[in-house]
Amino acid sequence: MQRIRLRYTKRGRLRFTSHRDFQRAFERALRRAEVPMAYSAGFTPHPKVSYANAAPTGTGSEAEYLEIALTDHRDPAKLRELLDESLPAGLDIVDAVEARTTGLADRLTASVWELRLDGVSVEEAERAVAAFVAADAVEVRRKTKNGMRTFDARGAVADLQASCPQPDRPADGPCAILRLVVRHVTPAVRPDDVLSGLRAVADLAPPVPAAVTRLAQGLFDEDSGTVTDPLAPDREAVTAAPADRSGVAGAAATVPAGTGSA
């Protein structure tokens, strides 16, 4: 069995696609592309697809990950092209690599987020960021399936900075961009929780909802404060693996994935 790990995006209006909607669209894409999927056993077999830490509905993303299991070998680059062509624009498959290591989910320990705050000046955002970062703890409340819950939004934030919009994305009025690095903890701290924290410590209240995009997710490097590419170990393992007579990296190097099936 071959396992392929994919990175995909949610762009534009497709950021409003729920995770369940994406699952349905992706399974249709698998059928259109005639991918030789492995299926689960039982009365209702389903394709072996493992999803890892999907972004909330309504947020854009450049870094969503999943893994598929195949019954026949396929070139990851060609498979990426076929699946990308079979999905609607905005749900784009942008990277593919053969799984050669365990624990993809374990390498998703932090996310980099961009929050676009239209109607908020950079100066306002910088003051709010300074107050948030200086706080030892910032308690926020969120409604969960078990009722309202209070938790600290500050502890999970590894970095928070405010800046002006990029020249290719100008704004008609005041606009601030927040770049946020959040560790994946329990309970999960989401970008809207950080916005609630900014409102609590600095009364920052954007007049319109923030446009939120996940730029990256992966293993958090404590020394550099950066988020690393979670597919890099698989690329390195493929490069290091010896090739068999057909020119394909030896199957003996393949290790079952560490993520669960959905």
Least confident of 4-13, 46-55, 123-132, 166-175: 166-175
Whether the pLDDT of residue 246 is over 70: the answer is no
Residues contacting 220, CB < 8 A, separation 6+: 109, 110, 158, 181, 183, 226, 227, 228
The predicted pLDDT at position 167 comes to 80
Q: Compute CA distances 110 → 184, 192, 226, whole Å.
A: 5, 16, 9
Whether the pLDDT of residue 262 is over 60: the answer is no
What whole-number distance in Å separates Cα of residue 171 and Cα of residue 165?
Answer: 7
In words, the CATH class of domain 2-106+230-253 is alpha beta
CATH number for 109-226 (one of 2.60.34, 3.40.1000, 3.40.50, 3.30.70): it is 3.30.70
Confidence of residue 242 (pLDDT cuts 50, 70, 90): low
Residues 161-175 have a mean pLDDT of: 87
The predicted pLDDT at position 238 comes to 83
Residues 12-22 have a mean pLDDT of: 94
Q: Which of 8, 23, 2, 25 is nearest to 76 (CA)?
A: 2
User: Do you find a cis peptide bond into 187, omega within 30 degrees of 0?
Assistant: yes
Q: How many C-beta atoms surround the C-beta of residue 204 within 10 A? A: 21
**Mean pLDDT, rounded, of the chain:** 90
Residues 183-195 have a mean pLDDT of: 94
At residue 107's C-alpha, the angle toward residues 60 and 181, to 5°, is 50
Q: Where in the chain is the domain with CATH 3.30.70.580?
A: 2-106+230-253
Whether the pLDDT of residue 171 is over 80: the answer is no
